[in-house]
Amino acid sequence: MALRIGVLGYRFMGKAHSNAFARLPMFFDDAPEIERHTLVGRDEAALADAADRFGFANTATDWGAAIENVDVFYNLGPNHLHPEPSIAALESDIPVFCEKPLAPTIEDAKRMADVVGESDAIAGCAFNYRFVPAIQYAKNLIDAGELGEIRHVRGSYLQDWGTDPADPWTWRMDEELAGSGALGDLGAHTVDLARFLVGERAGDIERVSGHTETFIEERPVEGKSETRPVTVDDAYTAQAAFQNGAMGTFEASRMASGHKNDHSISVHGSEGSLRFSLERLNELAVLRENNRGYETVLVTDASDPYVEHWWPPGHVLGWEHTFVHEDYEFLSAVAAGKGYEPSFETAFKVQRVLDAIERSDERGEWVDVE
């Protein structure tokens, strides 16, 4: 019997996951059978058009009614809409997949994580970069001890869509709707990747020192002769201390001119190093002990993670494939009644780090991750 999928949100992420749903049966023979059942949104005309393009049989403007008619609920709405629909679905024992960051506030994130323990359903968070084959390859190397003792983790996520002061205000610039700016929107990905890659070898992040900055403090409202304040950060930097003594440095910005979607991470150990850039997502640079320089590994062989489902070696994958891998893992876990990572508990741990960075910036000192 097909899993009936309900999706809240039909713009950027709604389109990305709908594309993944369509690709699953073509490339993953053992993927669970699914039905794109209900698409949820506010604008009925735009919603009907999106449902037709994305292959959904039904539409709804009330997420509560939609939850009653589906087997799995994807919450892909703005950050302020993450808590209540997700909690309601889990209270009805409906599995939930939620966009990141988990919630606008640490308090709401904790509520969401706590309700999973009272539900018979699983809940996953959308950290899709875990499912890049090169990142999976990197994790396997690190977990196998190929880099030795982990000493440094460096991550940055740079974009430039916010550089023009004339660009209009969006919900992502409002603290009540988004929670934070570049920190939550981009930094959440970096913190999750760092924890995912080195957690087994370096432990968790214990302390941070953070700095956030808002460069453009008000923006024009589209279609109106007025402005609205920007109440979130445009950029952040942070230092981090891991349990094993490793050092971390993280940053993200919407103001990095010339960078469209530049997410990179590097790990340095006592016996080797590696580095990854989303702009070259099929490649992993690896430095092994006694080598003079980095070797570029093209992670497209059938023996590499997920690649057997796609094309012959050298026929590269793209950003959209991360969602196919992510949805394959989550929906397979739902069908099998098994756990899934990254879970809400994992996403809450990421949010604790983000919250500590904000507290550190406010206090002007190192703070513990609580």
What is the tens place of the pLDDT at every residue in 166-214? 999 999 999 999 999 999 999 999 999 999 999 999 999 999 999 999 9
Tell me the two tokens of residue 269. Answer: 């150990």
Which parts of the chain are beta strand (E)? 3-8, 34-40, 58-60, 72-75, 96-98, 123-125, 150-158, 205-213, 218-220, 227-229, 235-242, 247-253, 262-269, 272-277, 283-288, 295-298, 367-368
- Residue tagged 């001890």 (tokens): 145
Give yes or no for residue 289 having a pLDDT over 90: no
What is the tens place of the pLDDT at every residue in 225-278? 999 999 999 999 999 999 999 999 999 999 999 999 999 999 999 999 999 999
What is the tens place of the pLDDT at every residue in 18-66? 999 999 999 999 999 999 999 999 999 999 999 999 999 999 999 999 9
* Helices 321-336/12-27 angle, 10° precision: 70
**Domain residue extents for the chain:** 3-128, 130-315+345-363
232 residue type, one letter: V
Angstrom distances, CA of residue 342 to CA of 37, 46, 51, 239, 330: 25, 32, 28, 23, 9
pLDDT given at position 292 = 86
Separation CA 235–CA 256 (nearest Å): 9
Please give the average per-residue pLDDT across 219-224, as a whole number.
94
Number of Cα atoms under 13 Å in the Cβ half of residue 148: 12
CATH topology classification for 3-128: Rossmann fold (3.40.50)
Topology match between the domains 3-128 and 130-315+345-363? no
pLDDT given at position 174 = 97
Query: What band does 290 get if pLDDT is binned at 50, 70 and 90?
Result: confident
DSSP 8-state symbol, 343: B
Q: What is the DSSP string of 245-295?
A: S-EEEEEEES--TT-SSEEEEEEEESSEEEEEEGGGTTEEEEEETT-SS-E
Query: 130-315+345-363: what CATH class?
Result: alpha beta
pTM (global) more than 0.75: yes
